[in-house]
Amino acid sequence: MDAGLIPANLYECPVVESRQVGAYRQVSFVAPEIAALAQPGQFMMVRLAGKSLDPLLPRPMGVHDVDSDLVKMIIDPVGKGSVALAGAAVGDRLSVLGPLGCGFDLEGAGPAVLVAGGMGAAPLTMLARALAARGREVACILGFKTRSQAMVSELYRDVHVEVVTEDGSAGRCGLACDLLPGLVEKRRGRELPEIFACGPAEMLAEVARMARKHGARAQVSVAAHMACGIGSCQGCAVSRSGGYVKACTDGPVFDAEDLQWR
Partner 1 sequence: MEVSLKTRLGPIELSHPVINASGTFDVLSADLVLEEDLFDRFPFSAYVPKTVTLKPRRGNPPPRLYETAAGLLNSIGLANAGIDAFIREDLPRLAQLPVPVIASVAGESTDEYGACAGLMEGRPEVAAVELNVSCPNLELGGRALGLDPERTHRTVALAREATSKFLIVKLTPNVTDIVEIASAAVDAGADALSLINTVHGMALDRYHLKPVLGHLSGGLSGPAIKPVALRAVFLVSRAFASLPIIGMGGVTDGQDALEFLAAGAAAVAVGTASFRDPLAAAGIANELRKLMQERGIGSVAELSGLAQR
Ligand X SMILES: Cc1cc2nc3c(=O)[nH]c(=O)nc-3n(C[C@H](O)[C@H](O)[C@H](O)COP(=O)(O)OP(=O)(O)OC[C@H]3O[C@@H](n4cnc5c(N)ncnc54)[C@H](O)[C@@H]3O)c2cc1C
CA-based nearest residue to 116, from 29, 247, 24: 24
Residues 6+ apart with CB under 8 A from 32: 69
Integer-rounded Cα radius of gyration of the chain: 18
Q: Which is nearer to ligand FES, 113 or 223 (CB)?
A: 223
What single-letter amino acid sits at 4? G
Nearest residue to ligand FES, by Cβ distance, number only: 248
Find the shortest distance in angstroms from Cβ 87 to its own copies: 10
Stretch that binds ligand X, among 1-9, 77-85, 139-147, 179-187 (CB under 6 A): 77-85
Count of residues engaged in binding ligand FMN, rule: CB under 6 A: 2
Residue 34 binding partner per list ligand X, ligand FES, its own copies, none, with a CB distance cut-off of 5 to 8 Å that depends on partner kind: none
Count of residues engaged in binding ligand X, rule: CB under 6 A: 23
Residue 244 binding partner per list ligand FMN, ligand X, partner 1, none, with a CB distance cut-off of 5 to 8 Å that depends on partner kind: partner 1
Residue 224 touches ligand FMN, criterion: CB under 6 A: no
Q: Can you tell me which of 248, 253, 256, 259 binds ligand FES, judged by CB under 6 A?
A: 248
Angle between helices 176-185 and 201-214 (to 10 degrees): 10
Provide the 3-class DSSP secondary structure of residue 186: coil
Residue 118 touches partner 1, criterion: CB under 8 A: no
**How many whole angstroms separate alpha carbon 162 and alpha carbon 145?**
14
Is there a contact between 204 and 219 (Cβ–Cβ < 8 Å)?
no
Binding site for ligand FMN (CB under 6 A): 233, 235
